[in-house]
A and B are shown apart, each in its own frame.
Chain A
């Protein structure tokens, strides 16, 4: 072995710096900023995210207004138009798609290798995943509130304070759906497999919930389906938001959404752990073993 380099002259300047609280904030802000920049770059994604619920609102809900009548159920104090009933569910649907979109982008990042950059940061892996989740929620909130603004122009009006009161609910539901997306992204090996997520996750979660019809109507049709809807965390996400939009706190939905978030986030942390998770077994964030 020989000396191939001059003596290290500047090493003393770069002793490890502790990652202080400010550093954690910077890291979070950087990840959120990147997600927003990518979102702004992808205008089609923004349009697609809006068009989907608007089609449901403008066409489906208007068409089925007379067929799918809704009786007075909490939090509503009077009969409401079907458009009013489905709007909270459609807002959470935006978050559902956004959560899966984030999951898709994780799989993409893994395939192109940029996930490696994230995971070699000195911050704890759980914090990096949490930051990714928060970034996804921020992006989804922008879409949700633009949708609610358009719906308001369509005379689907909530109490003004409801929009503010629903913000924490939207944050929590966004975190829950993002956590589910994270777990799914860890289980999907290739981008091509992502289409199955649509069939096996998004559609069942959305349709087997109270997003499009109240649960008492589902119960009339099938007790089993009613139980499935009741166990579906998406139902509780919708009900949490629906109630919050009218200034009502729904404790059961809150507990279910919070619990689901914690469970799925913990699963995601394990899945992305290099020692225990699926990443390590499969050969790392790109799934390669070369």
Chain B
């Protein structure tokens, strides 16, 4: 089996998921300058909600793809409501507070969501049923499953949709204007509160889809799955240049590839000294190196230090 091609396929799958989550981080950061630490938990809630819908449906004999679709739809709605509520309750009152206050709040929200999920779904790992045919297809010596194809295709479609929304519609123009300068945008008749709430809602919808994907991909969902995933996705957003949509997509895919290739080759590179346990080190190490040489990310614009 061709390791290189196989790791590229795995990396693209993982990277698509990272990219979807990273978009949520980067959209919020672009408009509010806030690291929304709770975003990873939204992904987790999306995964567990979808699972709660899928299990009985699949048990009742509904075909796998349909059950998956239904689960994703419910998860999207729940996460949209959740994203809206988080913004309204936790972040909006802090719009003009010192910079660290919203960050601490985000950490608090993240803890609350995690524990609520634990109370609802318990401490156990839930297995995610295999809903798509599991027989892999041969591709140039490597294997690719239907699920992996679906993840990459859906991610690309969603990112294309978002790009269209942001660049081609009236709403997108309002979003870009608010990101540029909320006050001036307000003077031009843009309702900044409305736009910010919408940003959270859209980001949360993407997160819900990513949550379904990641738990389907690994076959597992857990109340604790959001934090590390969120961290990786945030890393991806920073890698690409935070606040920049294309950067988040690029950074996500890149991080997925780096991780997959790093995990595949780190043993060979270091003569067996470091194993694939160091996968995460690899991701963070690359991030640090990139930031040292390109402090505003790979695709970020040069931004002057904000006071």
Decide whether A and B assemble into one complex. no
